[in-house]
Amino acid sequence: MLSHSSLECNSQLKCNARSNDSLNDIPTFIQDQVESYLDNLDSEADFDFNDITEHLQQFLRNPLSLNRADQKDLETLNLLSDLQIADLLDYRHKLGNLKSIYELQSIPSFDAQSIERLLPFVTIVENQILPNRSFAKMLLRGSNELYLRSSKVLETQKGYESINSSQAPYLGNQNQYYVRFKHQFEQKLSYGFTLEKDPGEPFFQAPNQSGFDFMSFHLFARDLGSHVQALAIGDYSVSLGQGLIMHSGYGSGKSSFVTQIKRGGRVLRPYTSVNESALLRGFATTIEFKPLDFTIFVSRTRQDANLSFNAIDDQQEPVAFTSLQLSGLHRTNSEIDDKRVINHQLAGIRLAYKTDFFQLATNVLTNRFDRPFQRTILPYNQYYFRGTSLSNASIDYAFRLRNLNLFGETALSDNGALATLNGILIGLSRYIDLSILYRNISRRYQALQSSPFIESSQANNEKGIYLGSQIKFNPKFWLSLYGDYWAHPWLRFQVDGPSTGKEYFIRFTYYEKRKLEAYIQFRSESKQQNTRSGLDAINSLEDKQRQYLRIHLSNQVSRNLELRNRVEFSLNKTSLTGEHDNRGFLIYQDFIFKSLRSPLSFTARACYFDADDFSSRIYAYENDILYSFSIPAFYNQGFRYYLNLRYRIKGLTIEARFEQTRYRDIDTISSGNELINGNTKSRIKVQFRYAF
C-alpha cells in the first residue's frame, strides 16, 4: 500500500534553474534525509516540507549575498554543511569578499557538486539599497504571489459513501482546497495568509460555516533599524540551540550528507506551513546590541485534544485531556469534538552572546495548558509529562577555530532531569571530513517542542554516539559513511525492557558536472523489539534488522531532458532462522523535461514495487507541484505512475498532476473511512500561481 546570480550568469543551465522554480527539486541530500526520517518513524505519516521549500523559493527569487551572509543566513539556506559554512566564513575573514562566484572552488570543502547546487540561490552582487526604505514602503513594494490549489482522490472512499456505515462518515466532500497569498520584499519583510480545507472537512456548511478549516496569517520583518533584528506578528516558528527544548520545522538528521548533523539557522522565522499543530501564534522579536542579542516570544493557541469527563450534577464536564491530536483533520463528529478544546500558552526568552567565532546562549521556555494533561499511565510512559505546566531551560554553544567546529546544548526540565547533546565537525584534510555527535537524554527528561538529532521520535530515554565521514578521492568520486550506536535505558513503546540499536550507512558516489550523478548505497539498521514464541507468557527482546541496497543514476542527456533511474531492495529480518524474513523491491524511471524556450515543462515517473508487508516498505521522494509533497511508502505489489505538467506565461503559472497506483495482490485499499473497494487509487491536483 501507499501512505502518503551570480555575476557569471552566462550559463544557460544556471539561469534556467531560477526560471523553472515550480519544478525545481528539493536538493538530493534533503530528499534522502526525509526518506530516512519517515522510515525511522515505523509508521505511516505525512511530512511537512513547506519549511524547506519556503526558504529555497525565497532565496531563488532574492539570492543570498555570500559576502554579507552571516552563519545564521548560511545555515538557513540549508544547502551547505557546517564545515563548508565554517570554511567560507574563515575564507572571507582572511581574504575579504569574493570577487567571483567561482572563487568558491578555492575553498577546501567546496566541491563541484555543492557549488553547482548553490548557484541558483546565491550571489556576490550587493542588493541595491533603495532610498527611504521605510517600513511602510516595504509593505507596498516587492513581489506578490497568489496560489490556488485543489486536489481529489478520484475513487470513492468509504467515508463518503453512506451515513449507514459502521464508522462515522465524513461531513465534507473529497476535495482539498488551498489558498495562499504572500508579499515579499527582498529578505527583509514578508506578510501573507494561508487557507486550507482537508478532504472530508465541511466547507461553508455546518459545523464549519466559516469555510476553510485552517487559517493562518503572518507578518515578519528583519533588520528594522539598527537594533531590531527580527519582528514577528501572527504565526511564526522558533528554533533554539540544538533542539533539546524547542525546534520548529525541518531539522537535519541521518542521511547521505553525513556531516549535516547540527541544528542551526535563524531563531525566528515566519510560519507558512499547513501543519496545524506546529505553529506559534502571537508576537516575537529579537533585539540586538552587539555582541548581545535578546529574543522574546509569546504565543497562545487552541489545540486539538482528547478530553476526559466527570459527571457533575448529572452533566459530563471536561476535567482534563489524555492526548494531543496532531493530525489537524476535522472530518467527523468525533474529530470535531476534539477540535481546539485546549488553550495552550507558551512563552520564552533567549539571551545570546555572539562573535565571529563563538556563540553562547541561554534559553528559557514555559508551557501552560488550561486543563491538566493526564495520560493513561503505562510502564513505558510513566516518565512522560503530566500536568498543566512545563518549563525548560538550556545553554547552547558553538565555537569555530579553523577546521574545527564545536557545538552543543545542555537542557533541564522542571522535574530536574537533564539532557545534553554535543558535537564536533573536523576538516581533517582537503579530502576528509569527520563528524561526531554524542547525546545523553535522561528517561525523566520532558520537553513538548523538542526535536534534536536522535534516533527516537521522543526526546528522552536515549544515549548514543554518531560518527560520520566523507572522503573525496577526487572531484568526481567520493565515499560517505556513518555509524550510529544507541541505547535506551528504560522501556519504550512495544519494547518491554532496556534496549540497544545500531545503524550503518555507506555510499559511493560518482559525479560529472552538469551531466551525471550515480551512486550505490547500503544501509543497515538493527533494533531490539518485543517478541513472543511458543507458549511464553511474557515478551522477550529480539534484534530485528532492516537492510536497504540502492542503485541510483541521474543523467542530464540534454539541456532540456534529465533521466533518473533507481533500483532499491529491502530486507526485514524478523528471526535468526530467516524463515519469516520480509523482502521488498522497487524500480522507477523518471523523465524531467525543462525547456529553455517553451513555456511547457513536465516531470513523469513510472514505478514498479513488490514488498511483502509494511515492515519491508521502501520510501521514494516524488516530484510534485510547488508547496505540495509526496513521499510514499511502497509495500504490497503494484505499479505507480504520475505526470506533472507546468505551463508558464508571464506572471501566471498553471500546474497539474495526475497520479495512479494499481495493486496486483489486494482487492481493497486502506481501511476505515479511507477504504477503497478496488485495487486502484488515483489523485488529481491543479494549481494556479499568479506573481505580480
Q: What number of H helices and E strands is found in the chain?
A: 8, 33
**Higher confidence at residue 232 or residue 52?**
232
Looking at residue 11, what is its pLDDT?
Answer: 35
Looking at residue 109, what is its pLDDT?
Answer: 80
**Higher confidence at residue 300 or residue 43?**
300
Helix (H) or strand (E) holding 611: strand 600-611
- One-character DSSP codes across 499-530: EEEEEEEEEEEEEETTTEEEEEEEEEEEEEEE
Looking at residue 10, what is its pLDDT?
Answer: 32
CA dist 498 and 528 (Å) reads: 9
Looking at residue 313, what is its pLDDT?
Answer: 59
**pLDDT per residue over 194-236, tens digit each?**
999 999 999 988 888 888 999 999 999 988 888 999 999 999 9
CA dist 195 and 215 (Å) reads: 5
Q: Mean of the pLDDT values across residues 432-460?
A: 94
**pLDDT per residue over 420-444, tens digit each?**
999 999 988 888 999 999 999 999 9
Q: Mean of the pLDDT values across residues 166-189?
A: 87
- In this prediction, residue 8 has a pLDDT band, given cuts at 50, 70 and 90, of very low
Q: Mean of the pLDDT values across residues 20-29?
A: 54
Do 660 and 640 meet the contact criterion of CB atoms below 8 Å apart?
yes
Say whether pLDDT at 135 is over 80.
no
CA dist 396 and 421 (Å) reads: 9
Looking at residue 48, what is its pLDDT?
Answer: 57
CA dist 70 and 96 (Å) reads: 14
Say whether pLDDT at 572 is over 80.
yes
Say whether pLDDT at 557 is over 50.
yes
**Side chain identity, residue 383:** Y
CA dist 247 and 269 (Å) reads: 11
Q: Mean of the pLDDT values across residues 444-463?
A: 93
- Block residue for cell numbers 518513524: 41
Q: Residues 6 or more apart from 680 whose CB is under 8 A from it?
A: 155, 660, 661, 662, 663, 669
Question: How open is the CA angle 451-455-458, to the nearest 5 degrees?
Answer: 50
- In this prediction, residue 492 has a pLDDT band, given cuts at 50, 70 and 90, of very high
Averaged confidence pLDDT in the chain: 86
Looking at residue 311, what is its pLDDT?
Answer: 65
CA dist 690 and 692 (Å) reads: 7
Looking at residue 534, what is its pLDDT?
Answer: 66
Q: How many CB atoms lie within 10 A of CB 529?
A: 18
Looking at residue 552, what is its pLDDT?
Answer: 96
Say whether pLDDT at 5 is over 50.
no
Q: What percent of the chain has pLDDT over 90?
A: 55
Looking at residue 74, what is its pLDDT?
Answer: 83
- In this prediction, residue 579 has a pLDDT band, given cuts at 50, 70 and 90, of low
Helix/strand/coil percent split, the chain, to 5 = 15, 50, 35
Say whether pLDDT at 22 is over 50.
no
Nearest to 385 by CA among 396, 395, 377: 377
Which of 381-385, 428-432, 590-594, 674-678 shows the lowest per-residue confidence on average (mean pLDDT)?
428-432
Q: Residues 6 or more apart from 252 whose CB is under 8 A from it?
A: 33, 78, 260, 261, 262, 263, 453
**pLDDT per residue over 354-406, tens digit each?**
988 899 999 999 999 999 999 989 999 999 999 999 999 999 999 988 789 99
Which of 2-11, 66-75, 308-317, 383-392 shows the lowest per-residue confidence on average (mean pLDDT)?
2-11
CA dist 615 and 635 (Å) reads: 8
Looking at residue 341, what is its pLDDT?
Answer: 94
Which of 120-134, 267-281, 491-505, 588-602 shows the lowest per-residue confidence on average (mean pLDDT)?
120-134
Looking at residue 29, what is its pLDDT?
Answer: 64
Say whether pLDDT at 121 is over 50.
yes
Looking at residue 9, what is its pLDDT?
Answer: 34
Q: Residues 6 or more apart from 397 whose CB is under 8 A from it?
A: 358, 359, 360, 361, 406, 407, 408, 409
Looking at residue 398, what is its pLDDT?
Answer: 93
**pLDDT per residue over 495-508, tens digit each?**
989 999 999 999 99
Positive or negative CA dihedral for 233, 236, 239, 243?
positive
Looking at residue 45, what is its pLDDT?
Answer: 47
**pLDDT per residue over 249-307, tens digit each?**
666 678 888 888 888 888 999 998 888 888 999 999 999 998 999 999 999 999 999 99
What are the start-end ranges of the E strands in 31-162? 64-65, 122-123, 143-153
